């Protein structure tokens, strides 16, 4: 069994040591802390959220933070291990320095002698700038995000050095700290075992536990390999029993493979292989189940358990007709959607697992099948990756490199390669790990800085990093950087394939052919939307119409749809004390602090959101994505005279833009095969980037994303003069037989009789029907031709199961969302309590109601499983139609009494008791 961790129940305190601090400073005496944890997390827990930034801003060049505890043991050598401490750190055991590190990301292991009885353990976090770095060669370009050019040498999370809302430096043992007794001291002295190269943090890779890997063979069998390191000449010191068993969520598992290797057989054997005849495959959420297995490795004195899964993730072949990144999971093409992960807790890397689970569940409910951990952040904990395995959320992991000129220095590169090998080794057993990238905008930065093409892609991105991933036996798709070109994808793939083949003991495959430009002029740019991997901001920061997302030929957008996204009204009231923060002080100043922005820009992403408010509602009489015949005419701006109403228009516009853009990309006629929005969650109160707000609650953007991205979804994608197609998607591994009910509302009020159409949507597939032709005639449902006055007001599509259950719903506003002089829709809503104990709100309207949403009370500071949340919102309700909105969480009598329903251009109304 695993040796006991003597620090597991330790009581930690954090204290600040600074020659300049005031006498009697409370931080000098110490505050409670936890490990794994960070300085910002401890400060938040002790002093409150509002105090953290001010305390950290007061750190001087000699400020040291100390995590301190005392443990009582029988003494003797103990092995200390950590997945990472940010950034320059010292471990002191019984007053002696046992280890030093200069990297936040390199895991380390060191053995130190503990005296019998009480012993003080101190982890000191030193100033990051205290470690000298080379001044030459100078960086070939500078980044507007990170003005301090020394950061290109430092292995530290860049997020604390970038002026983003809520961004805090990561300081401390985010990767935890363990200590367990060992039978004998190491052969080298503690200082030798724990010394570090500047900027690397580790002198050698720790031997580690048995490394379990899985693969799916071509004949469908599963292969489990267990590698041993650091135990005897052959890798195995004693006889070993290995079993592979299923890992159900409860109860004992079933053994599906086992093998015993005797000590004699183990001589000269570093890897043991087992075959699982018919493994159940792991799938992303919606496309199948997520079965997991346990690999148990038992020796005479220990047992090590690794949880694994069986799946294949591959990139489709690229040629002259097929460009960019497209993924297949278990051989099936997938449309990947999700978000850039910004952490579950703005103050902690090792967030509370319950908070992480709640946020992952919320993103999954929004249709996310992938999260990308960017190179500007810190690596995530094992809790996060285990949860992604369980929930069917794929992970794209960037190596912690940002838009800086990576040093071409042998020692620096060797340290990075060790770091990446350790990271890939940790992530390889997780079936959710799908993509490993060399960093964020590492290639884009020199391109946009105007550097020559030979400087665009550093060798470390296409050789060192992919090679280290392959050496670790990680069966993933590798990407040189996000974004990148096809040429970079091919080079990284070949480097990974060569080392992965050697890890398997096979012959390296031949490198793919890459034709060079005969003119010497690059054939494409690494920032092209249709090539390689893109960061697509056409719809969003660059203010282009929604159809640009299709006409640009976006293939895989690893970042997209950047907006300032306001929280829901109840959250705004709870955080700022008003519905209209900009109309009052001091709430206006706090609101501005939380607005998403890029350093140095003269505009914010709330300005971007307002641009689309104008396009959708003010500047012209149509959707920005439909070529309608009705000419534009000016509209009064009376609706935006106060901040509260402006926020309502922003929410409506965002729900519309997110749904329409993502639905266009998901369409089978689109070239797009992946879209990750920026970002998963905002990092400060106010209008951040997140589809979830800083508390983890849904925003209008999340509701739009959900309608387009749910595993079973329905969405209208207007095609101008080519009619009004309605798309039905089914991610499941079985065909879906259902009924599609189309209802059309006219401008005269009321609706035409519903039309029920039997449909069968193929497995992992899509069905497209023309709503304008569904009754056997042509109806200009979107007023695309503009012959006379508009006849239709809206059309809804409801997908019904054989039992009448609503599987998905969408509604399209004919001619676009804007309406002149809208009438009171006569909204009415009441609570419905079903037999299974669930709560819903049934909403009806006498006239067309646009962008209908519930406003639920906010009590808890962040979302928990008990937080009441509306599972749909910003829907359109046709006259006489009943739309049922599920509400999850603890729907108490107090919650029901305080809930209201609202629509655009209407006053909120209470939801009646059922």
The continuous run of DSSP H or E covering 17 comes out as: strand 12-17
Domain annotation covers residue 388: yes
| Residue pLDDT, tens place only, 631-676 | 445 555 555 889 999 999 999 999 999 999 999 999 999 999 999 9
Domain annotation covers residue 571: no
582 pLDDT higher than 60: yes
Give the CATH number for residue 273.
Answer: 2.60.40.10
Over the chain, what is the mean pLDDT?
A: 92
The continuous run of DSSP H or E covering 14 comes out as: strand 12-17
Give the Å distances, CA to CA, from 823 to 819, 827, 906.
9, 11, 9
896 pLDDT higher than 80: yes
Domain annotation covers residue 348: yes
Task: Report how many domains make up the chain.
Answer: 5
DSSP-derived pairing of the beta strands 76-82 and 178-181: antiparallel
- Determine the Cα–Cα distance for residues 62 and 126; give it in Å rounded to an integer: 8
Question: Considering only 63-67, 246-250, 254-258, which range has the smallest mean pLDDT?
Answer: 246-250
> Residues 842-868: what's their mean pLDDT?
91
What was the pLDDT predicted at 638? 59
Work out the pLDDT band at 519, boundaries 50, 70, 90.
low
- Determine the Cα–Cα distance for residues 711 and 733; give it in Å rounded to an integer: 11
| Residue pLDDT, tens place only, 439-478 | 999 999 999 999 999 999 999 999 999 999 999 999 999 9
Helix, strand, or coil (residue 759): strand
Work out the pLDDT band at 200, boundaries 50, 70, 90.
very low
Instruction: Give the length of the chain.
Output: 914
What was the pLDDT predicted at 24? 82
Q: Which of 36, 193, 12 is nearest to 109 (CA)?
A: 193
3-state secondary structure 810-844: EEEECCCCCCCCCCCCCCEEEEEECCCCCEEEEEE
Q: Which of 770, 797, 817 is the last residue of a domain?
A: 817
pLDDT > 70 fraction of the chain, expressed in percent and rounded: 92
What was the pLDDT predicted at 229? 65
- Determine the Cα–Cα distance for residues 39 and 157; give it in Å rounded to an integer: 14
Looking at the fold, whether 747 and 790 belong to one and the same domain comes out as: yes
Which residue matches tokens 């899985």?
Answer: 214
Q: Which of 817, 852, 879 is the last residue of a domain?
A: 817
> Residues 784-809: what's their mean pLDDT?
94
Looking at the fold, whether 171 and 25 belong to one and the same domain comes out as: yes
What was the pLDDT predicted at 639? 56
Residue 455 has a CB neighbour count (10 Å cut-off) of 14
Phi then psi for residue 103, to 5 deg, are: -130, 140
> Residues 405-419: what's their mean pLDDT?
97
> Residues 312-325: what's their mean pLDDT?
91
Work out the pLDDT band at 686, boundaries 50, 70, 90.
very high
> Residues 778-804: what's their mean pLDDT?
93
Domain annotation covers residue 691: no
Residues 6+ apart with CB under 8 A from 911: 829, 830, 831, 841, 854, 896, 899, 900, 901
Most confident residue range from 171-175, 249-253, 523-527: 171-175
Question: Considering only 58-62, 72-76, 228-232, 773-777, which range has the smallest mean pLDDT?
Answer: 228-232
Secondary structure letter of residue 627 according to DSSP: -
Looking at the fold, whether 370 and 497 belong to one and the same domain comes out as: yes
Give the CATH number for residue 128.
Answer: 2.60.120.260
Give the CATH number for residue 378.
Answer: 3.20.20.80
Looking at the fold, whether 172 and 23 belong to one and the same domain comes out as: yes
Looking at the fold, whether 271 and 293 belong to one and the same domain comes out as: yes
Could you check whether the bond before residue 627 is cis, i.e. omega within 30 degrees of 0? no
Q: Which of 817, 839, 860 is the last residue of a domain?
A: 817
- Determine the Cα–Cα distance for residues 692 and 696; give it in Å rounded to an integer: 5
Question: Considering only 203-217, 240-254, 386-400, 868-882, which range has the smallest mean pLDDT?
Answer: 203-217
Domain annotation covers residue 84: yes
Rg (CA), the chain: 28
Looking at the fold, whether 37 and 94 belong to one and the same domain comes out as: yes
Which residue matches tokens 């509604």?
Answer: 811
What token pair was written down for 388? 């992604």
What was the pLDDT predicted at 640? 80
- Determine the Cα–Cα distance for residues 406 and 792; give it in Å rounded to an integer: 58
Domain annotation covers residue 470: yes
- Determine the Cα–Cα distance for residues 160 and 441; give it in Å rounded to an integer: 17
Looking at the fold, whether 809 and 834 belong to one and the same domain comes out as: no
Looking at the fold, whether 137 and 17 belong to one and the same domain comes out as: yes
| Residue pLDDT, tens place only, 333-363 | 999 999 999 999 999 999 999 999 999 999 9
Domain annotation covers residue 443: yes
- Determine the Cα–Cα distance for residues 827 and 44; give it in Å rounded to an integer: 43
Looking at the fold, whether 55 and 84 belong to one and the same domain comes out as: yes
203 pLDDT higher than 60: no
Domain annotation covers residue 593: no
Work out the pLDDT band at 250, boundaries 50, 70, 90.
confident
What was the pLDDT predicted at 183? 72
pTM: 0.95
- Determine the Cα–Cα distance for residues 272 and 257; give it in Å rounded to an integer: 12
Domain range holding 117?
12-181
What token pair was written down for 265? 């057989």
233 pLDDT higher than 70: no
Triad 277, 281, 287: Cα angle to 5°: 155
Looking at the fold, whether 291 and 163 belong to one and the same domain comes out as: no
What token pair was written down for 441? 């905008």
Looking at the fold, whether 295 and 259 belong to one and the same domain comes out as: yes
Looking at the fold, whether 812 and 831 belong to one and the same domain comes out as: no
232 pLDDT higher than 50: no
Give the count of alpha carbons within 13 A of 837, CB side only. Answer: 3
> Residues 808-822: what's their mean pLDDT?
91
- Determine the Cα–Cα distance for residues 323 and 52; give it in Å rounded to an integer: 46
């Amino acid at each position: 069994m695993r040796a006991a961790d003597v620090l597991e129940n330790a009581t930690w305190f954090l204290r600040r040591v600074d020659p300049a601090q005031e006498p009697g400073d409370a931080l000098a005496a110490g505050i409670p802390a936890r490990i794994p944890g960070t300085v910002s997390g401890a400060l938040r827990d002790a002093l409150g959220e509002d105090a953290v930034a001010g305390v950290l801003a007061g750190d001087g060049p000699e400020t040291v933070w100390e995590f301190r505890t005392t443990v009582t043991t029988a003494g003797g050598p103990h092995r200390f291990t950590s997945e990472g401490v940010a950034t320059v750190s010292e471990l002191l055991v019984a007053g002696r320095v046992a280890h030093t590190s200069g990297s936040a990301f390199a895991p380390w292991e060191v053995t130190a002698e503990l005296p019998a009885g009480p012993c003080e353990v101190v982890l000191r976090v030193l100033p990051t700038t205290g470690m000298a770095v080379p001044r030459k060669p100078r960086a070939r370009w500078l980044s507007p995000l990170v003005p301090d050019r020394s950061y290109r040498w430092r292995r530290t999370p860049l997020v604390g050095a970038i002026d983003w809302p809520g961004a805090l430096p990561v300081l401390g043992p985010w990767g935890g700290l363990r200590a367990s007794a060992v039978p004998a001291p190491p052969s080298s002295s503690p200082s030798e075992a724990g010394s570090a190269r500047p900027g690397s943090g580790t002198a050698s890779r720790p031997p580690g536990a048995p490394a379990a890997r899985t693969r799916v063979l071509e004949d469908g069998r599963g292969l489990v390999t267990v590698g041993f390191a650091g135990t005897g000449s052959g890798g195995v010191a004693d006889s070993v029993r290995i079993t592979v068993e299923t890992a159900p969520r409860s109860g004992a598992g079933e053994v599906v493979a086992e093998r015993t290797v005797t000590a004699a057989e183990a001589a000269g054997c570093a890897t043991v292989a087992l075959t699982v005849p018919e493994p159940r495959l792991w799938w992303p959420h919606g496309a199948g189940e997520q079965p997991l297995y346990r690999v148990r490795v038992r020796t005479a004195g220990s047992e090590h358990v690794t949880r694994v899964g069986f799946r294949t993730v591959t990139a489709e072949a690229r040629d002259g007709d097929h460009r960019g990144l497209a993924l297949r999971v278990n051989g099936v093409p997938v449309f990947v959607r999700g978000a850039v992960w910004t952490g579950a807790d703005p103050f902690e890397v090792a967030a509370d697992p319950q908070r992480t689970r709640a946020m992952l569940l919320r993103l999954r409910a929004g249709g996310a099948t992938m999260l990308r951990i960017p190179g500007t952040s810190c690596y995530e904990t094992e809790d996060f990756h285990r949860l992604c395995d369980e929930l069917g959320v794929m992970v794209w992991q960037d190596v912690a490199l940002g838009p800086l000129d990576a040093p071409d220095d042998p020692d620096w590169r060797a340290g990075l390669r060790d770091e990446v090998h350790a990271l890939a080794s940790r992530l390889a057993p997780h079936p959710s790990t799908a993509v490993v990238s060399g960093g964020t905008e590492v290639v884009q930065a020199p391109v946009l800085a105007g550097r020559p093409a030979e400087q665009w892609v550093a060798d470390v991105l296409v050789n060192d990093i992919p090679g280290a991933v392959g050496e670790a036996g990680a069966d993933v798709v590798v990407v040189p950087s996000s974004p990148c070109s096809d040429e970079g994808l091919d080079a990284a793939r070949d480097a990974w394939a060569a080392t992965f083949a050697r890890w398997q003991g096979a012959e390296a495959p031949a490198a793919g052919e890459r034709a060079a430009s005969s003119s010497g002029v690059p054939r494409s740019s690494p920032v092209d939307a249709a090539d390689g991997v893109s960061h697509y901001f056409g719809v969003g920061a660059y203010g282009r119409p929604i159809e640009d997302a299709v006409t640009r030929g976006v293939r895989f957008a690893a970042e997209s749809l950047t907006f300032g996204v306001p929280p829901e009204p109840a959250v705004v009231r709870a955080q700022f004390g008003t519905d209209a923060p900009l109309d009052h002080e001091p709430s206006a100043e706090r609101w501005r602090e939380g607005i998403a922005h890029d350093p140095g820009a003269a505009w914010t992403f709330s300005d971007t959101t307002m641009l689309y408010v104008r396009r959708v509602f003010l500047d012209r009489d149509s959707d920005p994505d439909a070529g309608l015949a009705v000419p534009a005419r000016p509209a009064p701006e009376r609706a935006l005279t106060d901040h509260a109403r402006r926020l309502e228009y922003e929410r409506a516009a965002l729900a519309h833009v997110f749904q329409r853009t993502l639905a266009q990309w998901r369409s089978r006629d689109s070239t797009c095969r992946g879209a990750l929005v920026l970002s998963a969650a905002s990092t400060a109160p106010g209008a951040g980037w997140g589809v979830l707000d800083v508390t983890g609650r849904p925003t209008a953007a999340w509701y739009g994303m959900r309608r387009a991205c749910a595993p079973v979804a329905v969405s209208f994608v207007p095609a101008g003069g080519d009619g009004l197609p309605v798309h039905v998607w089914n991610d499941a591994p079985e065909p879906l037989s259902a009924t599609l009910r189309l209802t059309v509302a006219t401008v005269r009020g009321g609706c035409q009789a519903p039309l029920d159409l039997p449909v069968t949507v193929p497995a992992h597939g899509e069905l497209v029907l023309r709503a304008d032709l569904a009754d056997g005639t042509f109806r200009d449902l979107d007023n695309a031709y503009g012959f006379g006055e508009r006849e239709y007001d809206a059309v809804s599509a409801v997908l019904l199961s054989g039992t009448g259950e609503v599987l998905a719903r969408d509604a399209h506003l004919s001619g676009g969302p804007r309406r002149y002089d809208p009438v009171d829709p006569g909204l009415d809503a009441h609570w419905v309590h079903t037999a299974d104990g669930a709560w819903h709100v049934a909403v009806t309207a006498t006239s067309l109601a646009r962008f209908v949403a519930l406003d639920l009370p906010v009590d808890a500071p962040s979302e928990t499983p008990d937080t009441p949340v509306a599972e749909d919102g910003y829907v359109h309700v046709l006259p006489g139609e009943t739309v049922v909105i599920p509400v999850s969480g603890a729907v108490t009598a107090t919650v029901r009494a305080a809930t209201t329903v609202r629509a655009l251009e209407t006053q909120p109304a209470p939801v009646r008791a059922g």
